[in-house]
Structures are given as structure tokens and as C-alpha cells.
Amino acid sequence: MDLYYFSLSPPCWSVLLLGHQLDIKFNMKPIDFFSKAHLKEDFIKLNPVHKVPTLQEGEFTLSESRAILSYLVDAHAQGSHPLYPSDAKVRALIQQQLNFDLGIFYHRIYDYCSPLWKSKTTGSEADRERLHEALGFLEAYLGRTRYVAGNGLTIADISMMASASVLVACKFSLEKFPKVFAWYETCKKELVGYQDVMGPAFEGFARFVGKPTH
């Protein structure tokens, strides 16, 4: 199974983390964004939206990290796996949180943090407020259940943890969000291969982002 990825891409981190949980050995296909390899014809033929992660298994190509996470458990784990159990309601809640991550959580993290690597400045005050609101939503969810989609760790935690890793990489303080901080630390301990995936990712990210100013 080929995985097209870029080491500084947070959505790729989630797929790599899930690979460790399921013991999947990807055939790693690095895409070098610095030389704009994602805009070359052969990659655009594979994924017209030219984004990583992109998975290729024989004739089957799949992009969007959250779709990849669901697919990998469905296609490559035995039976009803705790990371994405078959129960309809449990799945619906996992999908709810994956959508929350895509539409709100990661989105707001990106809006606030991306000026750090685009122009070496922090995001605007308005973006900071919107990020704080999103972290407040997650804090509220974590006041109801131990993990983001219930009392067991699922692919929704893996996806949102990869998103939150951008905050950690940018040294954003989670002090005001103790439940989010505790959840992140729990996931860190429970996820197999966290150091293997995130260690080099954080190092590369720190070099790329430069010195955070907050």
C-alpha cells in the first residue's frame, strides 16, 4: 500500500499514527513540497486536488486523511475494532468528531498558526479568539467523556491529536484548557509509536516554523 506523504503535514501524521496502531507497513512515497512535487503531473493524475496524504492500494486511490483513517480500520483490522467499532451510534459520534475536526478544530488551528510558517508572525487576535472558542468546545466534549467520541480511544482522537500537535509544535499554551491538555497527554501515552511519528515531525516543524513568538 503506497502512502504519499510530506513529513511536515499534520493530516499525514494521523495516518502514520494509525498505521502504528494497526501494524500496517506503508510503502512510503515522500512528496517534497519544497520542490513543488505535489504539483507535478504524475501526482495530479493520482490526486487532482494535489494533497497529501494520498493512499494507493492497487487501482484504489483515496485522499482526505479522515476518510483514510476509516478505510484503514475497515479494510485492514479484524472484526469490530475499538478504534472504529461497527456499532452505528458509536460510528456516528466518531464521524461527528472527525467532521468537527475538519470543519472547526483543525481549521481554526491552521488559521491561527499558519502565519507562523507563512510569514513568521502569529495569527490575528480574531483568529486567536476563534481558536480559543474551538478549544473550549473540545474542553466541553472532554468534560462529558474520557476521549473525544466516547470512553474509548478512537480514530477521532488520532485525527484531533494530530491537529492539536500543531499547537504543541508551535508552543501554544493549553493552560486554559486542562482537559484538552490531559487528553493530549493520555493519547501520547496510549498511542503506539507516538515518539516515532511525532519526534521527527516536531523537529522538522520547529526548523520550518522558526522560533515561536508566543
Ligand X SMILES: N[C@@H](CCC(=O)N[C@@H](CS)C(=O)NCC(=O)O)C(=O)O
Please pick, from the candidates 5, 43, 53, 108, the single residue that binds ligand X as defined by CB under 6 A.
Answer: 53
Looking at residue 211, what DSSP letter applies?
S
Q: Please, which of residues 74-133 interact with ligand X by CB under 6 A?
A: none
Alpha-carbon dihedral angle through residues 159, 53, 191, 8, given to the nearest 10 degrees: -100
- Least Å from the CB of residue 206 to ligand X: 17
Q: Quick one: which segment of 61-69, 70-78, 165-173, 177-185 binds ligand X (CB under 6 A)?
A: 61-69
Active site residue 159: no
What distance in Å separates the CA atoms of residue 208 and residue 44, rounded to the nearest whole number? 25
Burial of 199 (0-12, 13-18, 19+ CB in 10 A): exposed
Q: By three-state DSSP, how is residue 27 classified?
A: strand
What distance in Å separates the CA atoms of residue 170 and residue 157, rounded to the nearest whole number? 20
Closer to ligand X by Cβ: residue 111 or 179: 111
Q: Are strands 2-5 and 27-30 parallel, antiparallel or unpaired?
A: parallel
Please pick, from the candidates 7, 9, 154, 165, the single residue that binds ligand X as defined by CB under 6 A.
Answer: 9
- Least Å from the CB of residue 26 to ligand X: 15
- Least Å from the CB of residue 134 to ligand X: 16
Annotated active-site positions, please? 9
Site residues for ligand X per CB under 6 A = 6, 9-11, 38, 50-53, 64-66
